[in-house]
């Protein structure tokens, strides 16, 4: 984490609190999550990207129907168009 220690803000923190016990906690091993969303009046599509240890580790493409108030599908990559997807009884929860 040398690149973090060299940041001006970190240097200023160490200068200000140099006589105290300073603890650095690395949270980069915890997942971070971002998402994109597209929606219309009836449906919403989401791409959820989870980062673990600074690398994208999980992609989840989800489609939900606002009228039916339920998810229609979830997949590991973007393959199915949420807005043209036809729900069937088999898809019912």
In the DSSP assignment, the letter for residue 67 is T
Residue 12 domain-assigned (yes or no): no
> In total, how many domains does the chain have?
1
Return the SS3 of 48: strand
pLDDT tens digits, 1-55: 567 778 888 898 899 898 888 888 776 677 788 889 999 999 999 999 888 777 7
Return the SS3 of 91: helix
Which pTM does this prediction carry?
0.63
Residue 41 domain-assigned (yes or no): yes
Residue 87 domain-assigned (yes or no): yes
The arithmetic mean of pLDDT across residues 80-87, rounded, is: 92
Residue 20 domain-assigned (yes or no): no
Whole-angstrom distance, CA of residue 77 vs CA of residue 93: 22
Structural domain boundaries enclosing 70: 27-91
Reported as half-sphere exposure (CB side, CA atoms, 13 A), residue 47 has a value of 9
């Amino acid at each position: 984490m040398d690149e973090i220690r060299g940041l001006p803000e970190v240097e200023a923190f160490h200068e200000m609190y140099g006589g105290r016990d300073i603890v650095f906690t690395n949270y980069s091993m915890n997942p971070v999550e971002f998402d994109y969303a597209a929606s219309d009046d009836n449906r919403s599509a989401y791409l959820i990207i989870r980062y673990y240890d600074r690398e994208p580790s999980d992609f989840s493409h989800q489609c939900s129907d606002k009228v039916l108030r339920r998810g229609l599908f979830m997949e590991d990559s973007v393959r199915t168009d949420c807005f043209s997807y036809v729900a069937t009884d088999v898809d019912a929860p």
